[in-house]
């Protein structure tokens, strides 16, 4: 199996989005936009999908659900100055939300409740009904 390459960062400050592709298709469907001061360490939070950190759980569950459906999940990032991170993220969300339904600000804690398995089912249902249908 070949190794993948990630360019070593000059800074930990990034704005990123997660998207998916259907095999054989070059078009992408974004489903979450974020920002971090921890560079790709943020991706590890989504892989862990810890229920105690709701955003990590939502994004991680959504990504795994898409992968189980045979889709390719991508993490794309741009390094940005620390003091511009929030503005760049807000601009990207606004731009992408014109054409795509994003997981940002969907399924809040009050809606998901306190049971991880129930929450997982709600997230997977949301992705199936709203994200995959785009």
Q: Which parts of the chain are beta strand (E)?
A: 14-21, 29-36, 72-79
Structural domain span for residue 53: 14-131
How many domains, the chain?
1
Q: Is the pLDDT of residue 16 over 90?
A: yes
| Burial of 72 from C-beta contacts in 10 A (0-12 / 13-18 / 19+) | middle
Q: Which of 103, 28, 94 is nearest to 61 (CA)?
A: 103
Give residue 26's pLDDT: 94
Could you tell me if residue 9 is inside a domain?
no
SS3 52: coil
Q: Tokens 């998207």 identify what position?
A: 19
- Nearest residue to 102 via CA among 38, 13, 34: 34
Average of pLDDT values for 41-62?
96
For residues 64-79, average pLDDT: 97
Q: Is the pLDDT of residue 8 over 90?
A: no
* Residue 6 belongs to a domain: no
């Amino acid at each position: 199996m070949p190794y993948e390459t990630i360019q070593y960062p000059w800074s930990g400050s990034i704005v990123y989005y997660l998207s998916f592709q259907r095999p054989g298709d070059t078009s992408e469907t974004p489903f979450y936009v974020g920002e971090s001061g921890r560079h790709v360490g943020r991706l590890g939070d989504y892989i862990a999908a810890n229920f105690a950190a709701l955003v990590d759980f939502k994004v991680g569950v959504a990504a795994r659900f898409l992968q189980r459906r045979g889709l390719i999940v991508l993490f794309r990032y741009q390094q940005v100055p620390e003091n511009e991170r929030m503005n760049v993220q807000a601009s990207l969300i606004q731009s992408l939300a014109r054409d795509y339904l994003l997981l940002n600000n969907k399924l809040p804690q009050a809606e998901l409740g306190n049971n991880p398995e129930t929450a997982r089912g709600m997230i997977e249902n949301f992705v199936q009904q709203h994200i995959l249908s785009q």
